[in-house]
Amino acid sequence: MNERAQNRVGLAVTVLTLTFVHFALAPVLDSWYFGPNLLACAVLIAAREVRPGTAASVGFVLGLLEDSMAVSHFGLATLLLLLIGFVGSLTRDLFLGEERLFMGTYLFAGTWIYEAASYLLMGAPGDPVAYLLLTAPLDAMATGIVGYLTLPVWRTR
With CB under 8 A as the rule, give the number of residues binding other proteins: 53
Q: What angle do CA 141, 80, 95 make, to 5 degrees?
A: 60
Cβ distance to other proteins smaller for residue 1 or 71: 71
Reduced to 3 states (helix: H, G, I; strand: E, B; else coil), residue 50 is coil
What is the nearest approach in angstroms of other proteins to the Cβ of residue 2?
29
Residue numbers 118-147 binding other proteins by CB under 8 A: 118-127, 131, 135-136, 139
CB-CB contact of 149 with 4 (8 Å): no
Reduced to 3 states (helix: H, G, I; strand: E, B; else coil), residue 62 is helix
Per-residue x/- track, 8-27, other proteins (CB under 8 A) = ------------x--xxxxx
What is the nearest approach in angstroms of other proteins to the Cβ of residue 122?
6
Q: Got the DSSP string for 72-114?
A: SSTTHHHHHHHHHHHHHHHHHHH-----HHHHHHHHHHHHHHH
CB-CB contact of 81 with 63 (8 Å): yes
Per-residue x/- track, 86-125, other proteins (CB under 8 A) = ----------------------------xxxxxxxxxxxx
Rounded Cα distance, 17 and 14, in Å: 5
Q: Can residue 39 be called a binding residue for other proteins (CB under 8 A)?
A: yes
Give residues in contact with other proteins (CB under 8 A): 20, 23-28, 30-31, 37, 39-40, 53, 56-57, 60, 63-79, 82-83, 114-127, 131, 135-136, 139
